[in-house]
């Protein structure tokens, strides 16, 4: 790597970190991002029970952790440090400390997100090496790093402490070892299978790395399959992978959390299977047009200049898409493990075009601007969190408020929590029990807040509850609650129901819509009931 390339890569990495860390506090202390709590709660439960083997406490873990344990293990050192600092500065007994921690887990989510952002930035650094290994061109690597750093989907999943960024990194590491020019055959495949097996402890989806290993062997290695099966090494690799894949299940038998979501026996068709790669990738074409178009050019140039690379990426993308069609469904976040490979192709395609027309560098302005806009919007925070802050700032503490906006809640006093318990006894969470223990939140301004956002429609909104003197109600946009609000005008509203969603990791439509969006999150309004 030349000094100039090193400087450019450093700038890309700094940019990638800043645009992602801008959203590190998105939504907190609310739990808005789907599938984010299990890993944080799992790590905290391990600390509470003083165990790293959940199989001995399956029932305690079952309701909070429905994924393998390795991500929770990754979080343990940071969480232990945070708990130690909090404990040393806390004045109270052990039970009070436990409830104090349970009243707000924001610091733990921040730590988990920060570590996830570091993994994302490392993947942007690693993609440079992978691209250079493949194309023997550092400029293609730099272009790939830039395009990955500005990918909207990659940014969304970077600031959410979910499993998708680690899965993406597993595939990228496998590709890095497979393509490493100075490693021996055995070392490359040993490390690739080792990483693939370890990845099962993150998510069973990491097993798709075996497709990558298999396709790479068939396309790039001179050994024949008949020769390979005569070597003891291949059987050692198979045994090692199976053993590594079984370890997470042995540690925590309830770790296959998506078992109930498998749709293998749903309605499928041959046409749907064949069309799945196009349908799977289509959101990327609309939401990230430069990345998608450059990757198409990269695939075309690979077909003309390096047919093996063309087939490696094409076969893996097709296999990955068809697997999700057969077993699951299509969601934007499922594209995350493919984004680095798409960025590698895009970087190659861009550099081939740039070598012919230097003015082509102008197209990089668009993903740069789009990513900056997304970073700005996540920094402004979610509509529900902004509504929560407005209420804390502008309404008198103790005011009686009904909260019925998806995933939103206010800090509540004991009386409000007792009312909620009367309505739905099984609906209380740890945060409710902690506030009940103290009589109110020990951290945030507390209200007589009936938090029923997670209850069935109209739950708690019967006349006896309303006769308790509730003054305000926070509602999701469009919900009128017939017989309660009539034609009331909202006191204040937040959010615009943007198609881009950090909560659901959804790309939405055209990236230009980011400039029409003033605030991420669903519309939520506050009404006066008096």
Model pLDDT for residues 468-516, shown as the tens digit of each residue: 788 899 998 766 665 566 667 889 999 888 888 888 888 878 899 999 8
Residue 355 lies in a domain: no
Q: Give ∠ CA 278-282-286 in degrees, rounded to 5.
A: 155
Q: What's the pLDDT at 464?
A: 58
Residue 217 lies in a domain: yes
Same domain, yes or no: 263 and 124 = yes
State which of 234, 268, 302 marks the end of a domain. 268
Same domain, yes or no: 8 and 144 = yes
Q: Are the CB atoms for 149 and 124 separated by under 8 Å?
A: yes
Q: How many CB atoms lie within 10 A of CB 134?
A: 25
Q: How many CB atoms lie within 10 A of CB 141?
A: 26
E runs forming strands in 410-523 = 448-451, 472-476, 492-494
Q: What's the pLDDT at 124?
A: 97
pLDDT tens-digit readout, 122-170:
999 999 999 999 999 999 999 999 999 999 999 999 999 999 999 999 9
What's the rounded Cα separation, in Å, for the pair 117 and 22? 11
- Kindly tell me if the per-residue pLDDT of 263 is higher than 60: no
Residue 232 lies in a domain: yes
Ranking 71-85, 302-316, 470-484 by mean pLDDT, the lowest is 470-484
Q: What's the pLDDT at 258?
A: 55
Q: What's the pLDDT at 179?
A: 95
- Kindly tell me if the per-residue pLDDT of 108 is higher than 80: yes
State which of 205, 235, 268 marks the end of a domain. 268
Same domain, yes or no: 389 and 254 = no
**Highest mean pLDDT of the ranges 283-292, 420-429, 457-466:** 283-292
SS3 label, residue 258: coil
Q: What's the pLDDT at 467?
A: 61
Element containing residue 44 per DSSP (H, E) = helix 37-49
Q: In terms of residue numbers, what domain contains 500?
A: 381-528
Confidence of residue 273 (pLDDT cuts 50, 70, 90): confident
Tokens 């939520």 sit at which residue? 524
pLDDT tens-digit readout, 165-203:
999 999 999 999 999 999 999 999 999 999 999 999 999
Question: What is the count of structural domains for the chain?
Answer: 2
Ranking 45-54, 177-186, 424-433 by mean pLDDT, the lowest is 424-433
Average pLDDT estimate for 315-323: 93
State which of 268, 298, 327 marks the end of a domain. 268
Q: What's the pLDDT at 481?
A: 60
Residue 172 lies in a domain: yes
Please choose, from the candidates 394, 345, 51, the residue with its C-alpha nearest in 3D space to the C-alpha of residue 175.
Answer: 345
């Amino acid at each position: 790597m030349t000094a100039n390339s090193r400087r450019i890569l450093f700038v890309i990495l700094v940019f990638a970190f800043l645009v992602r860390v801008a959203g590190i506090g998105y939504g907190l202390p609310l739990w808005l991002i789907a599938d984010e709590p299990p890993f944080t709660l799992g790590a905290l439960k391990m600390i509470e029970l003083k165990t790293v083997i959940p199989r001995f406490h399956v029932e305690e873990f079952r309701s909070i952790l429905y994924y393998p344990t390795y991500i929770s293990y990754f979080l343990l050192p940071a969480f232990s440090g945070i708990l130690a600092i909090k404990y040393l500065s806390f004045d109270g007994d052990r039970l009070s400390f436990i409830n104090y921690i349970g009243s707000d887990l924001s610091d733990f989510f921040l730590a988990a997100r920060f570590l996830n952002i570091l993994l994302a930035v490392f993947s942007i650094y690693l993609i440079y090496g992978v691209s250079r290994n493949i194309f023997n061109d550092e400029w293609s690597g730099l272009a790939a790093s830039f395009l990955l750093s500005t990918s909207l989907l990659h940014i969304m999943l970077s600031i959410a402490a979910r499993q998708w960024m680690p899965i993406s990194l597993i595939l990228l590491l496998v590709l890095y070892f497979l393509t490493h020019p100075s490693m021996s055959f055995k070392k490359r495949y040993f490390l690739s299978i080792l990483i693939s097996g370890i990845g099962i402890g993150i998510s069973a989806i990491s097993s798709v790395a075996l497709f990558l290993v298999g396709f790479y062997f068939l396309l790039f290695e001179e050994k024949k399959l008949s020769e390979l099966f005569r070597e003891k090494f291949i059987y050692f690799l198979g045994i090692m992978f199976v053993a590594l894949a079984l370890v997470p299940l042995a540690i925590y038998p309830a770790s296959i959390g998506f078992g109930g979501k498998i749709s293998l026996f749903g309605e499928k068709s041959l046409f749907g299977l064949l069309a799945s790669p196009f349908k799977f990738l289509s959101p990327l074409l609309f939401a990230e047009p430069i990345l998608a178009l450059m990757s198409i050019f990269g695939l075309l140039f690979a077909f003309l200049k390096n047919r093996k690379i063309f087939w490696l990426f094409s076969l893996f993308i097709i296999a990955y898409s068809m697997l999700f069609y057969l077993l699951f469904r299509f969601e934007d976040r499922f594209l995350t493990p493919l984004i680095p490979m798409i960025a590698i192709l895009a970087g190659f395609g861009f550099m081939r075009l740039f070598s012919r027309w230097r003015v082509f560098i102008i197209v990089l302005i668009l993903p740069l601007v789009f990513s900056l806009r997304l970073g700005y919007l996540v920094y402004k925070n979610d509509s529900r969190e902004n509504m929560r802050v407005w209420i804390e700032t502008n309404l008198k503490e103790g005011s009686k408020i009904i909260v019925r906006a998806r995933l939103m809640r206010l800090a509540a006093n004991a009386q409000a929590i007792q009312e909620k318990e009367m309505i739905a006894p099984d609906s209380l969470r740890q945060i409710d029990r902690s506030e009940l223990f103290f009589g109110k939140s020990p951290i945030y301004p507390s209200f007589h807040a009936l938090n029923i956002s997670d209850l069935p429609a109209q739950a708690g909104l019967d006349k006896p509850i309303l006769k308790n003197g509730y003054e305000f109600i926070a509602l999701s946009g469009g919900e009128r609650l017939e017989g309660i609000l009539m034609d009331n005008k909202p006191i204040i509203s937040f959010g615009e129901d943007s198609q881009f969603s950090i909560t659901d990791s959804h790309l939405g439509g055209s990236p230009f819509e980011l400039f029409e969006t003033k605030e991420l999150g669903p519309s939520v309004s506050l009404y006066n009931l008096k």
